[in-house]
Chain A
Amino acid sequence: MKNYIPKIVLAAVLLGALSIPSFTPKYILHLVIYIMIISIAVMGLGILGVSGQISNAQGAFYGIGAYTSALFSVRMGVSFWASLLIVILFACVVGFVVGLPTIKVSGLYLIMTTLGVNEIIYLIMMNNITLTNGPQGVSRIPGPSLFGFTFKSMPSYFYLCYAFLLFFALLSIRIYRSRLGNYFIAVKNSEIASNMNGVNVVKTKLTAFMISAVYGGVAGALYSGYIGYIHPDNFKTDVSVLFLTMSIFGGQRSVVGMLCATTILTIATEYFRFIGEYRLIAYGLVLILGMIYMPEGIGGKFVQLKNLVKAGKQHDKG
């Protein structure tokens, strides 16, 4: 019976969350939806992180997803769901193209390379007017609709994002537990040993990259469908840095950790909005302090807690 308690708690939380739209004010609901959307992008970085890679370009994939979905629906009347498939395909392709050369580099060099990629994509978004409307952005993006029902109201969009978030969170957990997850960790720990033990390191790293890109792209599509207007400035490197810090703060291996981190950091910046420009300074301070005192992130703290509990239990037994 004891084994079922965490599962019951989890079910309660998940079901309880469904009632959020009914009692939260619009302002907070908006924030919750935003958090759910970007959590998907952040989780994508988590998958990348587990394989030992780091990307400062998630904002670009977020943007690619947003623009692809937006442009297809605005210019060609394609439905949100069909354009979602295109987004996934496109994200895979771009993820492959970007990933293929960058798997050779690691650490800081990878950060800088992906940063460069993000900048290049941003410049294309800004300057290639025929493709993306440039600095005017894309407006009047129709939201997704299903069987005639349009997800225009906030509560309905909440449920939509909830479904997506749940799906991608589950997917992440499954991936981490599968053999692909094992390959990721192996590659992160030692590429040379992985190679020598039958793991195709190149394929593994590329797969991680492409999966991460898809997560980013889907999040972007959800974003453009929600806000209805996008502009290249929404997808600058600042956004990539934001996602990256959230994923590292969350401890990459832990889906719950990343969700917590995203929530906490977003709420922090929102809460501090009243102090205006100082809130970003607070964000930077949180980052620095976090790295000095909690380098494994929130997920790391969970693991430590779990180990403490395990040790305690063994102590009781023995």
Chain B
Amino acid sequence: MLFQLILQGIATGFVYALVALGYTFVFRCLNQVIYAQGHIFMVGSFMGYAASTKLGLDAVSTLLLMLLAGVAFGFLLDRVIFRKLYDVATMTFVIAAIGLGIILQNAVRILYPEPVKYPPIFGTRVFRIFNAQIAEPYLWVIAISLLLIAALYCFLTFTRYGQAMRAVASDRTIAAAMGINVKVYISATISLSAAIAVIGGVLIGPLYFASFDMGGMIGLKAFSAAVLGGITNISGAAIGGVVLGILENLSAGYISSAYKDVVSLGVLILMLLFRPHGILGKAKPTKV
């Protein structure tokens, strides 16, 4: 029972991690958080649903298609909205992102007013590991997430483009001075962040279901995860997500599932109050 809860927690945790990674990427670049990240995730979930039901695609094709769709979607959002907001004050950016979230949520609501159940693209087999029953989708989620995170890591560390992205994230002015086209990379970061969120949405579909109002909660939980791990730290986001997923699942199993959302909220509030730079982040004292 414990192991099952933990494993399932790891799976949902990875989903949080993917969304949290998106937060972290954009934060490092722009010093802003895209409040609508959870809603982008939700849109991704429905896109995946449409792809697998209308087009009857299997798991792998859906994921690949959604990767492309996610990048395209992110690019669209950047072009139309975010590009004009790179340098605005924090609050302005946040309100605009809130507006985006409202639009996405209600646009999807018109198309899908009721929660939808994903077709079993990740299979229906149940495996017995030690003495826990793990349904196949959970294993898929863990595998795909790990793959994605590894791919991201390689991209950022070993390719020129990834390194340029990191340069932009660490200091825009110097990156520009080095000849990097900063705007393009910010745009790319936003697209990438959206794409990851979209994949996250596709992954959670088979685990639970998709509904138009799940964006808010997921966004908040992923934000908790990012803060837990350290919003300036990329591996922190991933670790934060997994830890949060496990914590949440354990409290749902052992305490009460009605209040399980309180866990992530509580974690968020406690972290922000006592260790805002997260477990892995570095404290930045204000220079007086």
Binding site for B on A (CB under 8 A): 54, 101-102, 104-105, 107-109, 111-113, 115-117, 119-120, 123, 127, 192, 237, 241, 244-245, 248, 277-278, 280-281, 283-288, 290-292, 295
B contact residues, range = 35 or more
- Knowing A105-B272, A285-B99 are in contact, say whether A123-B259 is a contact too (CB < 8 A): yes
State the CA gap A104–B272 with chains docked (Å): 9
Does A280 contact B98, Cβ atoms closer than 8 Å? no
Within 8 Å CB of A280, what residues of B? 102-103, 105-106
Report the minimal beta-carbon distance from A245 to chain B, rounded to whole angstroms: 6
Does B85 contact A119, Cβ atoms closer than 8 Å? no
Query: Chain B 5-45, CB within 8 Å of chain A: the 1/0 string?
Result: 00000000000000000000000000011010000000000
- Knowing A112-B272, A284-B99, A287-B96 are in contact, say whether A295-B220 is a contact too (CB < 8 A): no
A-B contact pairs, 7 of them (CB 8 A): A101-B273, A116-B266, A123-B259, A123-B261, A284-B98, A285-B99, A287-B96
Within 8 Å CB of B99, what residues of A? 245, 283-288, 290-291
Report the minimal beta-carbon distance from B285 to chain A, rounded to whole angstroms: 12
Within 8 Å CB of B265, what residues of A? 116-117, 119-120
Within 8 Å CB of B139, what residues of A? none
Within 8 Å CB of A292, what residues of B? 81, 84-85, 96
Main secondary structure of the interface of A (DSSP, over half): helix
- Knowing A115-B220, A291-B92 are in contact, say whether A283-B261 is a contact too (CB < 8 A): no
Binding site for A on B (CB under 8 A): 32-33, 35, 81, 84-85, 88-96, 98-103, 105-107, 109-110, 216-217, 220, 223-224, 227, 258-259, 261-262, 265-266, 268-269, 272-273, 276, 286, 288
Within 8 Å CB of A192, what residues of B? 286, 288
Does B88 contact A295, Cβ atoms closer than 8 Å? yes
Instruction: Select from chain A the residue with minimum beta-carbon distance to B96.
Output: A291
State the CA gap A123–B90 with chains docked (Å): 29
Within 8 Å CB of A123, what residues of B? 258-259, 261-262
- Knowing A281-B103, A281-B106 are in contact, say whether A116-B33 is a contact too (CB < 8 A): no
Report the minimal beta-carbon distance from B79 to chain A, rounded to whole angstroms: 13
- Knowing A113-B272, A292-B85 are in contact, say whether A248-B96 is a contact too (CB < 8 A): no
State the CA gap A165–B92 with chains docked (Å): 28
State the CA gap A286–B105 with chains docked (Å): 15
The winner among A123, A241, A291 for most chain B CB atoms within 10 A is: A291
Q: Which listed residue (A113, A116, A237, A287) contacts B95, Cβ 8 A?
A: A287
